[in-house]
Amino acid sequence: MSAPIWIADAADRYRVDRPRVFGPGLRAKPTRRGVVVLDLHYSADPDGVTPELVVREMRRLGCEQRDDGTWSLSWRWLKEMELDWVAQSGAQVFDSLEQQEQHILEPAYYLRYEIPHDARPSDEARLIECEPGEVGPIRVWISPLDQPGNLPDGAYVQRSFGVGSDISEGVGASDSTVVVFTADTREHAAVFADNTIRPVDVGRVAVALCRYYNNALLCMVRKMHGISALREVLDLGYTRVWREKVQNRAVEYAAENYGWPKGEASSPQLFGRWQDALRHQQVTLHDAITLDQHRQYLYDEHGRISHSALRHLPVEVRQRHGDLVIGAALAYRAVIDLPKYQEYSHDTSPPELSMAWRRQQRELRRQRDRALPYGEVR
């Protein structure tokens, strides 16, 4: 038996002082930072990554086989298996929406709001239901009184709602938005978007909508103009406001700060979760404008999420753009912290003239008798 060649004695065999190819799919190179980089392509492991596995992965990652047998490669395949770092540049951020059935609906009714011109700091906005045929700024698909369809007979629930709000300057550029989601079915309940409303007034509208929707949990951006709206919300006495979470622990816990700390689309903590929710169809969008806005988000050449209309602008400008997608993502962030229902009641009265009904009537009579003043007999 020959003596083993210890790994410590084989320095020449693993030397990387210049770019070096060690075999198929195995390239190493030194870098200026002193880190050796190994590119490990799947072709380096023909026993593990078999041709059958390759074909299966190609299909799974969205590659399509043409009639002549060649493949049209997807950006996912190029990125995940071919080590192409910029394959996703120009790809849609919410590409999963294109492959799913959508549930776009016309609003069930509209709401409008009134804020008096001489409103005092404590004055809330007033919501008014529009007449049939009249269009208002708040589109509503689900009213707070609507009951979910899967309840047993006689059951009644008070549904929970989450409200997300992204705040703009209100000078005709990007929209301020207030988006309402149901907590049980996680679908669009109402949407409001306006690019001329002042941040303080968005706070008033948000509070009015929250109160309308069974005191919904409000998740509002805190950054920039958001702080004005958030302060107004708290000044109006509405305290059911989402609080920032400390996320770098195994279990999240609420921090003291109110509202969402960042408003930009590229924040992975916001959009990552929202992307997952859409990909796994955990949410249902009813608003066509919101769906359309999702299609406008693309990855740029550095992998950052950017709005297609803003791709030529600097990163700082892009980060201010938000609108309905961010509102929806914030509303979703609120609903995942909520129970499905705030109240659940079930009518348990027995059928009339049944034995249980007679017993119940007798108990009620006894209770009434006990309640009579001393000495009186019914």
Partner 1 sequence: MASEREIVEARWAMAARDPRYFSRWFVFTLDSQAQERGESNPIRPWPARPHLDLLCGLWWHHPMLFVAKSRQMMVTWFASMISVWQILFRRGALVYQQSKRLEDAMGDEATGDGLLGRSKFILSHVPYRSWLLPRRVVVRSDSIQIPGMHSGIQAIAQGGDKIRSHTVTQLVSDETAFQPEFSAALTATMSSIRKGRFLGITTPDLTDGGASMRLALDMTDEEAIA
CA distance 331 to 187: 10
Beta bridge partners of 181: 162, 188
Residue 375's region, left for phi above 0, alpha for psi from -120 to 50, else beta, is: left
CA distance 242 to 201: 19
Q: Shortest Cβ distance from residue 259 to partner 1 (Å)?
A: 20
Q: Shortest Cβ distance from residue 294 to partner 1 (Å)?
A: 18
Residues contributing to the site for partner 1 (CB under 8 A): 4, 6-8, 10-11, 13-16, 22-23, 25-26, 28-29, 31-42, 44-45, 47-49, 53, 57, 79-88, 247-250, 268-269, 272, 299, 302-304
Q: What is the DSSP letter of 66?
A: -
CA distance 312 to 300: 10
Which of 264, 284, 127, 274 is closest to 206 using CA atoms?
127
Q: Shortest Cβ distance from residue 214 to partner 1 (Å)?
A: 33
- CB closer to partner 1 out of 173 and 254: 254
- CB closer to partner 1 out of 39 and 134: 39
CA distance 34 to 24: 24
What does the CA dihedral 90, 93, 94, 99 come to, rounded to 10 degrees? 40
- CB closer to partner 1 out of 74 and 160: 74
- CB closer to partner 1 out of 84 and 184: 84
Q: Shortest Cβ distance from residue 81 to partner 1 (Å)?
A: 5
- CB closer to partner 1 out of 60 and 359: 60
Q: Shortest Cβ distance from residue 204 to partner 1 (Å)?
A: 34
Q: Shortest Cβ distance from residue 333 to partner 1 (Å)?
A: 16
- CB closer to partner 1 out of 27 and 294: 27
CA distance 74 to 61: 7
What does the CA dihedral 320, 105, 156, 204 come to, rounded to 10 degrees? 30
